[in-house]
Amino acid sequence: MNPNSPLLLTDEQMRRFITEGFLILNAEFSDGFHDRLVQQLNDVYEQEGNPGNNLLPRIPDIQKVLDHPVVSGALTSVLGPNYLMHAHRHGHYNASPEPGRWHKDSYWGYKRMRNHHPWWAMIMYFPQETPIELGPTGIMPGTQNYETRTFEEDCPSGEFLASGTAGTFALIHYDIWHRSTSNRLGQHRYMLKFEFMRTQAPTKASWNLQNPDWAAPLSLAPPLIRQETMWEETWNWLNGQVGGLAHTAAYSPTALQDLSKGLQDAFEPYALHAAYELARGGQEGVEALLEGLHHPSEKVSRTAAYGLAISGSEAVEGLLSALESSRVATVVHSVFALGELRHVAEKAVSYLIKLQNHSSERVRQAAVEAIGMIGVPTQDVVYGLTRGLQDTDVQVRFMAALSLARLGPNADEAVPQLKKCLEDDNRYVRAHAVDALHYIGTDRAKDVLIPFLLKSRWCPSTTKVSQYYP
């Protein structure tokens, strides 16, 4: 076996990631490697400040960490072999004796509906030994699928601290609740954050699968709330199933009524459990979820959409009808569910293209992402996403470019418009146009991409104190 091959996760590790939303691993390098890396960070921060998105070209040794078999293997296991590293990356420096606030990272705006399926993940890498006193990142296990805080803001009873030796990193579901903790030692503490996106829906397990049947991990971190149906569906989705729940539940009228009421439960975990259980119930479950989709409460509507997103072909017609709603949130939730249904919702593409004329940027943002996730018919999808590249809203443009990256060579017709996007005022539109051209990979795409990269290449040795020599 090639020693540089990705070291894939085990079944047990994947079960823990699905349930708890994170794993703590270690990229083992020599102490000297980590010492040099920390010294480079010290020099850059003291002389130039935080390099922000230029963290990697400014300190190229970090790429060795990202290429480490443990890191690449963890990312491959969760996101598949062709994952994309997002253009946004950040070096978090924590010297504060006060803990940070609990938060979920944004998708460059907080209005995007978050995926339960792991389409996105982050690596949080600690280049120095990070004991608890130095202020490691705190993670609240099992909260990746909850929009609301299911724990007390000021009560970290279940908090997990990502402390460890130099080279420790946390692989986290993008949407998990986390925070910085107090640095009581007053010494430098760096955490280098990189974001990654799945570019292809799973067709089979991408980890070291031994047993295809779902089973909860051997132990669960307290106070994690059991969500067996949700966990099983995610496991099956990662094994290549669309709508990873068998429609085997035969609910009585009373049980259906109780589950429908459960969508309105004030405690989000219970409401989501009801949504996932209704998704098991075939057409009757779908009808209850569609009723929830149109509920006056946007929270109930969003919860129902998560159930519809895994309900299979039975949900498509009702979701298409919901696109006519006058309420923006209902339309966004419907678009999200259609995108998660992927090719099962192929019929929706023409409807989603029409939504690109919608007055709400939230609808247009959701539409370009869903068009790319459905992916077929290819010609219509490329047409719709190329239109998205020309939208007046920045987020529509860069989501359209990211969606084109999912299509690979099939998106070749979008290359001329992607070339124009390389001159966009927004850094992420430009960056995602580069990503799309790279994943398209045709001769025409390379003829645009390579000259752009040559003109914009970075010299990591050039600083204000060393402009030319050595």
193: domain CATH number is 2.60.120.620
Residue 468: inside a domain: no
Residues 310 and 433 reside in one and the same domain? no
Residues 162 and 48 reside in one and the same domain? yes
Predicted TM-score (pTM) of the model is 0.95
Residue closest to 338 by CA, chosen among 362, 365, 360, 316: 316
Q: Which one of 181, 197, 213 terminates a domain? A: 197
- pLDDT of the residue at 64: 96
- pLDDT of the residue at 286: 96
- pLDDT of the residue at 248: 65
Are 329 and 302 in contact by the 8 Å Cβ rule? The answer is: yes
User: For residue 103, what are the β-bridge partners?
Assistant: 178
- pLDDT of the residue at 221: 76
Q: Which residues contact 318 (CB under 8 A, 6 or more apart)?
A: 286, 287, 290, 293, 308
Residue 443: inside a domain: yes
Residues 33 and 134 reside in one and the same domain? yes
User: For residue 29, what are the β-bridge partners?
Assistant: none
Structural domain containing residue 130:
11-197
Asked if pLDDT for residue 165 goes beyond 70, the answer is: yes
Give the model confidence (pLDDT) of 298-311 as tens digits. 999 999 999 999 99
406: domain CATH number is 1.25.10.10
Residues 268 and 184 reside in one and the same domain? no
Residue 321: inside a domain: yes
Are 135 and 189 in contact by the 8 Å Cβ rule? The answer is: yes
Residues 38 and 100 reside in one and the same domain? yes
CA distance 301 to 125: 37
Residue 372: inside a domain: no
pLDDT confidence tier of residue 360, bands split at 50, 70 and 90: very high
30-45 average pLDDT score: 95
Domain count within the chain: 3
Asked if pLDDT for residue 156 goes beyond 70, the answer is: no
Residue 240: inside a domain: no
Residues 306 and 450 reside in one and the same domain? no
- pLDDT of the residue at 316: 97
153-159 average pLDDT score: 73
Residue 206: inside a domain: no
Are 417 and 389 in contact by the 8 Å Cβ rule? The answer is: yes
Give the model confidence (pLDDT) of 90-141 as tens digits. 999 999 999 999 999 998 776 899 999 999 999 999 999 999 999 999 999 9
pLDDT confidence tier of residue 244, bands split at 50, 70 and 90: low
CA distance 376 to 347: 9
Phi, psi values for residue 148, rounded to 5°? -95, 165
CA distance 99 to 136: 10
Asked if pLDDT for residue 150 goes beyond 90, the answer is: no
Residue 208: inside a domain: no
165-179 average pLDDT score: 97
Residues 15 and 89 reside in one and the same domain? yes
User: For residue 123, what are the β-bridge partners?
Assistant: 171, 194
Residues 43 and 187 reside in one and the same domain? yes
For the ranges 2-6, 62-66, 191-195, which has the lowest average pLDDT?
Answer: 2-6
- pLDDT of the residue at 155: 64
Residues 417 and 341 reside in one and the same domain? no
pLDDT confidence tier of residue 149, bands split at 50, 70 and 90: confident
Residue 428: inside a domain: yes
Residues 160 and 301 reside in one and the same domain? no
Residues 37 and 169 reside in one and the same domain? yes
442-470 average pLDDT score: 88
Residues 412 and 331 reside in one and the same domain? no
